[in-house]
Chains A and B, each alone.
Chain A
């Protein structure tokens, strides 16, 4: 996906190593899903 976006001209795009699971395993903070997240998604 990152490669696809780079081909579309978005150069500063990077995939997160380990994904969601990797972030969670390190005990880093997570946010509860909110309505705002879905609203923001529709606005993008």
Chain B
């Protein structure tokens, strides 16, 4: 472990770029600790602040543009893929769409501050047919702001302490350990969630048999209105309900009938 960390510390530009690219490509890791650490290394004179900022920004733009284009071209299928690789599949897409519905510009500017949502936003922007030029400008501005502030969080304390060269690698290593811990915790959460889900779910074949046999089944379509852009159809007899309205309407749902929920 220690030798791996030393290897990473000795290749900070590579680590910065690759982790940024992986995070934006959808890998379940946090990029922010790496940015803080890069700021600390820059204060210690072991990295160039401007070069690190540009590398991080390019990695963000590459990853986000990829998802934006996929969202534009493939629509819902991309969101389904993001759900599969996300550690928070039950909430990430829904939350992104809600933010996006309120204000697309503000969401593009500030989504980087919302772990679990930020990597879904470019695909949702593509799905919502945001103009590529507007997406590019807002995304670059939002990414640059986030990267600069995160790097300054690491840069300023180290610069003021005047013990930069000794402290910076320690901060960097600590950030990588936090990153590894975050991945392990999210993985455990994801396993717990999937185990519960597998126990409960109904297969399409089972549902079709129930519907064909005329059994009383209530089917609720919980897809967000943005999903209707790519396909407005529903399952036969399904009732469209916004996810946020389901719990408030729970008292009106029948207790003696099978209720099947579906989203994208």
Enumerate chain A interface residues (CB-CB to B < 8 A).
1-5, 8-24, 26, 28-33, 37-38, 40-41, 44
Contact = CB atoms under 8 A, between A and B. Distances in A.
Contact of B252 (A2, A29, A38, A44): A44
Ranked nearest first, the 9 interchain pairs of A and B with the lowest CB-CB distance are A16-B262, A30-B233, A14-B202, A13-B259, A8-B250, A17-B201, A33-B232, A31-B236, A17-B203
A15 B247 contact: no
Contacts of B255: 9-12
28 contacts: A5-B246, A9-B255, A10-B250, A10-B253, A10-B255, A12-B256, A13-B260, A14-B202, A14-B261, A15-B202, A15-B262, A19-B262, A23-B204, A28-B204, A28-B208, A30-B233, A31-B234, A31-B237, A33-B232, A33-B234, A37-B240, A40-B239, A41-B239, A41-B240, A44-B239, A44-B241, A44-B249, A44-B252
B163 to A, nearest CB: 49
B238 to A, nearest CB: 7
B263 A19 contact: yes
B10 interface: no
Interface string B201-220: 11111011000000000000
A22 B83 CA distance: 13
Given A14-B200, A30-B236, A37-B238, A20 B250 contact: no
A5 B90 contact: no
A26 B204 contact: yes
A15 B197 contact: yes
A21 B221 CA distance: 12
Contacts of B253: 5, 10, 44
Contacts of B240: 33, 37-38, 41
Nearest to A5: B250
B244 to A, nearest CB: 10
Given A5-B247, A16-B204, A31 B261 contact: no
Given A8-B247, A10-B253, A20 B263 contact: yes
